[in-house]
């Protein structure tokens, strides 16, 4: 072996840099063609339809509700992630399973570089499929006339989650070239999502907001916000989640470049830096999530918040009339305008001409619930001239209702609106109101066609009256209400005209009712 | 190397079968079973099943429950049972392909024995894990759910390939999750049914019976494609 030592050192030929991207592109093309991901996509498509799309069409035609299950609670990610991780693990373990690890390590290109190309091909298939499936879902929604705008930032978070699952699965396969790598990666994916749900449903603030299945504060199935209808979807939390998930992806990919066989010292050093960068990104995102505060329009992260996102969405209202009073709704709610006018007509007719009767009814944005006092009142009175403000986003609209026991009947909705109107009209505020206010409220409802006997149940089933029981319509309040309702309409009208201000101020007692 | 000089063997001139004492035959049988189990990575599968049992114990002991009622509480134990079924399904993958099928007289019985034995071991490991208490549905539900999901895994292995046998149980888990969330109670989604429910037990029994028959008779699908699910 002396020839080698005596041979002259040959100067290294300059690298043909232009050929590198070309050969990498060629390698990527080969990997895209030889990838296992397309084989699993039909199964994912079926599961996506079953688990993400099908349940969503049972909800009202509003983006906030349609996407609550599949985007807010992360079911599009649950449908994709574990399977993508498994196939990525299969691809990552390919060389090891086939006993080719030494062979590919000896090739001209560093092993880590070729591994990254294999991962890139896998991730491209998965992300492209995710985008196609979500686009198809939104096209179906558009065809069904779903109101509002899609939550694009949450789609971006989903894309990053799919990429992160692919990177994590690939790392499992690269480190453990076994036939069990794929099922273990899928299992780990499912377990991670289950644990994410476990923490995500419990915590409404703090670090757990970073978890991709946590819908608190941005999608809320109990008291729905009007994101994408009255105001834009806030990007703060999605940006933090993108940072977190991208950090996980970078950590996973960086880890595959750390072993000695991955490449030269410089490359491994770069992999270590990449891993650290991923850790920093994920850690920063968790720290940002801890600073998140719930606002009326969703979660705000001060460091990421752009005030421009607070600007309301402009629109031309859809208007109708109820008992001569104009009723205007956001165009996203146009389909329910006849229900709303029909619901308001009898109660507005009952108070027509009174000095405290509203001159107009208009829909206003529903705010995200804040504090422990339950959802805010959905119907309020205020402004000059007096306006009836309808926060319809807080109510279950007539028709399909994915989070109720069944579809919401038009009568159920109308009774609820009438109760909330009467409650607002007597000035009962956020509680049940005083006895005199309750009695006048009961009499107004009776005048709108809701018998006294049916009122306790209506109160109990409406979210804003938690202290109301399911007892009979009896007691001093209902006795006074019956007495008041028995008087002629003109006498009731005259009494209300004279005493409405005192009634709203809570200064009247039951004995003072006629 | 040519075929010159080769002749069809004269009838009755076949080499005598290998004979030996009962002990020799038992040793050969044991060796065959051992080689089969090693080729199917059964030792690793046993380790994974033991790990899943420990995980179930931890999940029940520390109450890793998803908020949302009784149905949601089933999800993490079901995920672990699915993992066990997926591991069993993947052990059906054989590296020798046609060669083994042509020469392996005992192969169907080995496949059946391995599947039944691993299912029993998985049940034992998970039942031991369930000893932490609070297992939704108890041991009866565990037996039904694990058995049914293993059947799905074996069917997937027969249809897709042993290496991709895990897809069936994992897809079934998602279907179960949707059914639990939306209160569907078809017996074909047996985890949604009460533990003593006859319909759910029959469906799960049918599925594992079909899976065992198919994997015994046909074996896992083998694909010649390099990048396909069978590769």
Of the partner residues A33, A47, A180, the one whose CB lies closest to the CB of residue B44: A180
Min mean pLDDT across A105-109, A133-137, A344-348, A509-513 is at A105-109
Contacts with B46 from chain A: Cβ below 8 Å: none
User: Does the beta carbon of A51 lie under 8 angstroms from any beta carbon of chain B?
Assistant: yes
A484-490: Cβ within 8 A, 24+ apart: A484/A439, A484/A440, A484/A443, A484/A513, A484/A514, A485/A442, A485/A443, A485/A446, A485/A447, A487/A514, A489/A447
Contact check, Cβ <8 Å, B66/A197: yes
CA distance A32 to chain B (A): 10
**Which of the residues B59, B66, B71 would you substitute to probe the A interface, choosing the one with the greatest number of A C-beta atoms within 10 Å?**
B66
Q: Are residues A341 and A230 in the same domain?
A: no
**Exposed / middle / buried, residue A90 (Cβ in 10 Å: 0-12, 13-18, 19+):** buried
CA distance A378 to chain B (A): 26
CA-wise closest residue to B220 among B148, B164, B170, B142: B164
**How many helical (H) and strand (E) elements, i.e. helices and strands, does chain B have?**
9, 0
Residue B16, in any domain of the structure: no
Instruction: Read off the pLDDT of each residue in A100-121 and give the average, rounded to a whole number.
Output: 86
Residue A6, in any domain of the structure: no
Determine the residue of chain B that is closest to A35 in CA distance.
Answer: B227
Contact check, Cβ <8 Å, A78/B174: yes
- Above 80 in pLDDT, residue A44? yes
Reduce the DSSP state of residue A123 to 3 states and report it.
helix
Cα–Cα distance for residue pair A240/A205, rounded to 1 Å? 14
Please report, rounded to a whole number, the percentage of residues in chain A having pLDDT higher than 70: 91
CA torsion through residues A169, A171, A174, A180, sign = negative
Residue A4, in any domain of the structure: no
- Above 70 in pLDDT, residue A227? yes
User: Does the beta carbon of A180 lie under 8 angstroms from any beta carbon of chain B?
Assistant: yes
Expressed as residue numbers, the domain containing B110 is: 41-217
| A209 or A105, higher pLDDT | A209
Instruction: Read off the pLDDT of each residue in A455-481 and give the average, rounded to a whole number.
Output: 76
pLDDT for the residue A3: 45
- Above 90 in pLDDT, residue A428? no
Chains A, B: CB pairs < 8 Å: 101
User: Does the beta carbon of A179 lie under 8 angstroms from any beta carbon of chain B?
Assistant: yes
Residue A14, in any domain of the structure: no
pLDDT for the residue A405: 74
Q: Among A255, A287, A310, which residue terminates a domain?
A: A310
Contact check, Cβ <8 Å, A191/B75: no
| B62 or A184, higher pLDDT | A184
Q: Are residues A109 and A156 in the same domain?
A: yes
pLDDT for the residue A351: 87
Question: Per CB distance under 8 Å, which residues of B are interface residues toward A?
Answer: 41, 44-45, 48, 64-68, 75-76, 79-80, 82-83, 86-87, 89-90, 93, 162-164, 166-167, 170-171, 173-175, 177-178, 181-182, 226-229, 231
pLDDT for the residue A19: 60
Of the partner residues A35, A180, A201, the one whose CB lies closest to the CB of residue B90: A180
Cα–Cα distance for residue pair A118/A111, rounded to 1 Å? 11
**Which of the residues A35, A41, A194 would you substitute to probe the B interface, choosing the one with the greatest number of B C-beta atoms within 10 Å?**
A194
Q: Among A290, A310, A330, which residue terminates a domain?
A: A310
Contacts with A190 from chain B: Cβ below 8 Å: 79, 82-83, 170, 173
Q: Are residues A303 and A354 in the same domain?
A: no
Of the partner residues B44, B75, B171, the one whose CB lies closest to the CB of residue A43: B171
What are the CA-CA distances from residue A243 to residues A76, A196, A237, A279, A399 (Å)?
19, 17, 10, 10, 39
Contacts with B229 from chain A: Cβ below 8 Å: 36, 39-40
Contacts with A46 from chain B: Cβ below 8 Å: 171
Exposure string of A1-26, with b = 16+ CB inside 10 Å and e = fewer, is eeeeeeeeeeeeeeeeeeeeeeebee
Total structural domains in chain A? 2
Q: DSSP class of residue A145?
A: T
On average, the pLDDT of chain A sits at 87
Rounded to two decimals, the pTM is 0.87
Tell me chain B's radius of gyration from C-alpha atoms.
21
Cα–Cα distance for residue pair A217/A453, rounded to 1 Å? 38
Determine the residue of chain A that is closest to B85 in CA distance.
Answer: A183
Cα–Cα distance for residue pair A58/A400, rounded to 1 Å? 6
Residues with Cβ < 8 Å from A201, sequence gap 6 or more? A213, A214, B66, B67, B68
**Which of the residues A187, A188, A401 would you substitute to probe the B interface, choosing the one with the greatest number of B C-beta atoms within 10 Å?**
A187
Q: Are residues A243 and A368 in the same domain?
A: no
Contacts with A72 from chain B: Cβ below 8 Å: none
Q: Are A390 and A322 in contact (CB under 8 A)?
A: no
Q: Are residues A294 and A345 in the same domain?
A: no
Q: Are residues A282 and A329 in the same domain?
A: no
Residue B29, in any domain of the structure: no
Residue A108, in any domain of the structure: yes
Total structural domains in chain B? 1
Residue B33, in any domain of the structure: no
User: Does the beta carbon of A182 lie under 8 angstroms from any beta carbon of chain B?
Assistant: yes
pLDDT for the residue A371: 45
Task: For A269, list phi and psi in degrees, rounded to 5.
Answer: -65, -40
User: Does the beta carbon of A176 lie under 8 angstroms from any beta carbon of chain B?
Assistant: no
Cα–Cα distance for residue pair A122/A429, rounded to 1 Å? 57
Residue B11, in any domain of the structure: no
pLDDT for the residue A370: 46
Torsion of CA A469, A472, A474, A478, to 10 degrees: 70
- Above 60 in pLDDT, residue A35? yes
Q: Among A260, A293, A310, which residue terminates a domain?
A: A310
Q: Are residues A446 and A467 in the same domain?
A: yes
- Above 60 in pLDDT, residue A408? yes
Residue A192, in any domain of the structure: yes
Q: Are residues A162 and A215 in the same domain?
A: yes
Partners of A300 in the β-ladder: A293
Residue A194, in any domain of the structure: yes
Q: Are residues A295 and A327 in the same domain?
A: no
Q: Are residues A98 and A225 in the same domain?
A: yes
**Exposed / middle / buried, residue A401 (Cβ in 10 Å: 0-12, 13-18, 19+):** middle
pLDDT band with cut points at 50, 70 and 90 for residue A8:
low
Angle at A270 between CA A266 and CA A271, to 5 degrees: 115
Q: Angle, to 10 degrees, between the axis of helix B75-90 and the axis of helix B167-181?
A: 160
Residue B192, in any domain of the structure: yes
pLDDT for the residue A512: 81
Of the partner residues B68, B76, B93, the one whose CB lies closest to the CB of residue A201: B68
Contact check, Cβ <8 Å, A198/B76: yes
Tokens for A505?
A: 């101020």
CA distance B110 to chain A (A): 19
pLDDT band with cut points at 50, 70 and 90 for residue A361:
very high
Residues with Cβ < 8 Å from A6, sequence gap 6 or more? none
- Above 70 in pLDDT, residue A97? yes
Chunk chain B into consecutive blocks of 10 residues (it has 231) and report each block's average pLDDT, rounded to whole numbers: 51 56 87 92 96 95 78 88 96 83 83 96 96 88 96 96 94 92 86 92 96 94 56 44
Determine the residue of chain B that is closest to A97 in CA distance.
Answer: B231
Min mean pLDDT across A4-13, A438-447, B178-187, B202-211 is at A4-13
Q: Are A256 and A92 in contact (CB under 8 A)?
A: yes
Q: Are residues A186 and A46 in the same domain?
A: yes
What is the tens place of the pLDDT at every residue in A285-331? 999 999 998 887 888 999 999 988 888 999 999 999 998 999 999 99
Expressed as residue numbers, the domain containing A348 is: 318-512
Residue B28, in any domain of the structure: no
């Amino acid at each position: 072996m002396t020839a080698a030592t005596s041979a002259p050192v040959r100067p290294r030929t300059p690298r043909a840099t232009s050929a590198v991207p070309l050969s990498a592109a060629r390698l990527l093309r080969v990997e895209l063609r030889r990838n296992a991901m397309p084989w699993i996509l039909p199964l994912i498509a079926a599961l996506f339809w079953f688990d993400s799309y099908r349940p969503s069409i049972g909800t009202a035609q509003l983006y906030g509700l349609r996407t609550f299950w599949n985007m807010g609670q992360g079911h599009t990610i649950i449908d994709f992630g574990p399977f993508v991780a498994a196939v990525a693990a299969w691809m990552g373990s390919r060389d090891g399973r086939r006993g080719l690890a030494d062979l590919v390590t000896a090739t001209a290109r560093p092993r880590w570089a070729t591994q990254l190309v294999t991962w890139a091909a896998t991730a491209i298939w998965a992300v492209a499929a995710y985008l196609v499936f979500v686009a198809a879902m939104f096209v179906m929604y558009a065809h069904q006339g779903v109101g509002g705008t899609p939550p694009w930032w949450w789609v971006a978070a989903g894309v990053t989650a799919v990429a992160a699952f692919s990177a994590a699965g690939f790392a499992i396969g690269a480190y453990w070239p076994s036939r069990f790598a794929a099922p273990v990666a899928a299992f780990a994916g499912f377990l991670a999502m289950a644990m994410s749900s476990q923490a995500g449903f419990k915590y409404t603030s703090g670090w757990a907001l970073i978890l991709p299945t946590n819908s608190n504060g941005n999608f809320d199935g109990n008291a729905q916000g009007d994101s994408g209808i009255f105001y834009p979807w806030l990007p703060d939390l999605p940006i933090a989640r993108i940072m977190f998930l991208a950090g996980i992806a970078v950590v996973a990919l960086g880890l595959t470049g750390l072993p000695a066989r991955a490449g030269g010292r410089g490359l491994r050093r770069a992999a270590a830096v990449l891993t650290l960068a991923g850790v920093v990104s994920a850690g920063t995102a968790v720290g940002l999530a801890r600073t998140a505060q719930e606002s009326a329009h969703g979660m705000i992260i001060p460091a990421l918040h752009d005030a421009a996102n607070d600007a309301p969405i402009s629109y031309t209202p859809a208007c109708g009339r109820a008992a001569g009073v104009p009723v205007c709704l956001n165009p996203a709610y146009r389909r329910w305008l006849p229900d709303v006018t029909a619901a308001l007509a009898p109660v507005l007719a009952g108070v027509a001409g009174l000095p405290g009767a509203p001159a107009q009814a208009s829909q206003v944005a529903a705010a995200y619930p804040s504090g422990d006092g339950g959802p805010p009142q959905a119907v309020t009175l205020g402004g000059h001239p007096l306006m009836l403000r309808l926060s319809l986003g807080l109510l279950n609209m007539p028709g399909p209702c994915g989070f109720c026991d069944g579809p919401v009947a038009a009568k159920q909705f109308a009774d609820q609106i009438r109760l909330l109107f009467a409650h607002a009209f007597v000035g009962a505020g956020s509680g049940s109101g005083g006895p005199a206010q309750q009695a006048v409220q009961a009499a107004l409802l009776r005048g709108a066609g809701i018998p006294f006997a049916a009122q306790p149940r209506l109160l109990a089933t409406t979210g804003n009256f938690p202290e109301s029981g399911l007892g009979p319509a009896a007691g001093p309040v209902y006795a006074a209400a019956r007495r008041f309702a028995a008087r002629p309409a003109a006498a009731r009208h005259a009494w209300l005209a004279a005493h409405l201000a005192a009634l709203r101020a809570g200064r009247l007692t039951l004995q003072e009712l006629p | 190397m040519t075929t010159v000089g080769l002749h069809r063997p004269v009838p009755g001139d076949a080499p005598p079968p290998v004979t030996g004492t009962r002990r020799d035959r038992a040793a050969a049988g044991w060796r065959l079973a051992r080689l089969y189990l090693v080729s199917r990575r059964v030792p690793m599968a046993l380790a994974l099943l033991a790990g899943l049992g420990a995980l179930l114990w931890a999940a029940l002991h520390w109450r890793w429950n998803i908020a949302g009622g009784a149905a949601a509480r089933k999800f993490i134990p079901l995920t672990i049972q699915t993992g066990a079924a997926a591991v069993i399904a993947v052990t059906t993958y054989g590296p020798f392909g046609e060669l083994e099928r042509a020469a392996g007289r005992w192969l169907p019985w080995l496949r059946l024995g391995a599947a039944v034995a691993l299912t029993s071991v998985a049940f034992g490991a998970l039942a031991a894990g369930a000893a932490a208490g609070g297992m939704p549905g108890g041991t009866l539900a565990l037996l039904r759910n694990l058995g049914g999901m293993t059947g799905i895994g074996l069917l997937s292995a027969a249809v897709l390939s042993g290496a991709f046998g895990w897809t069936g149980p994992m897809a079934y888990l998602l279907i179960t999750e949707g059914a639990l969330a939306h209160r569907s109670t078809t017996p074909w989604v047996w985890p949604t049914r009460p533990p003593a429910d006859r319909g759910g037990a029959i469906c799960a029994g049918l599925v594992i019976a079909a899976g065992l028959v198919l994997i015994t008779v046909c074996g896992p699908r083998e694909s010649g494609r390099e990048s396909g699910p069978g590769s």
